[in-house]
């Protein structure tokens, strides 16, 4: 049986929660705490109840997890409530 070449497999555009937990090694509560603290990318709405993380956003976090900040994040907001952590009005 020939070996599978993983380099030729397509990269998914979005990763779902089980994949993100496996890739990052974070627990679910830790992941959501980091999202609330703007230390991890927020999931995007895929439709219905589905949410996922963009491949590029996940790669940005993997490149430097300790100093990750979402695009557009300004240090002037810290330690006050950053825009990504404010409650949304419905």
Tokens for 67?
A: 């100093």
pTM equals 0.70
| pLDDT at residue 11, rounded to an integer | 84
| pLDDT at residue 76, rounded to an integer | 54
CA dist 84 to 9, 10, 21, Å?
Answer: 33, 31, 21
Q: Judge contact between 14 and 46, C-beta under 8 A.
A: yes
| pLDDT at residue 28, rounded to an integer | 97
Tens-of-pLDDT digits for all 90 residues of the chain? 566 666 677 888 999 999 999 999 999 999 999 999 999 999 999 999 999 999 999 999 999 999 888 887 766 555 555 555 555 555
């Amino acid at each position: 049986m020939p070996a599978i070449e993983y380099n030729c497999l397509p990269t998914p555009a979005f990763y779902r929660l089980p994949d993100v937990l496996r890739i990052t090694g974070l627990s679910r509560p830790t992941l959501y705490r980091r999202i609330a603290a703007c230390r991890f990318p927020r999931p995007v709405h895929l439709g219905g109840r589905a949410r996922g993380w963009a491949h590029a956003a996940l790669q940005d976090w993997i490149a430097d997890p300790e100093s990750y900040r979402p695009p557009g994040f300004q240090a002037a907001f810290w330690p006050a409530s950053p825009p990504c952590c404010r409650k949304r009005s419905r």
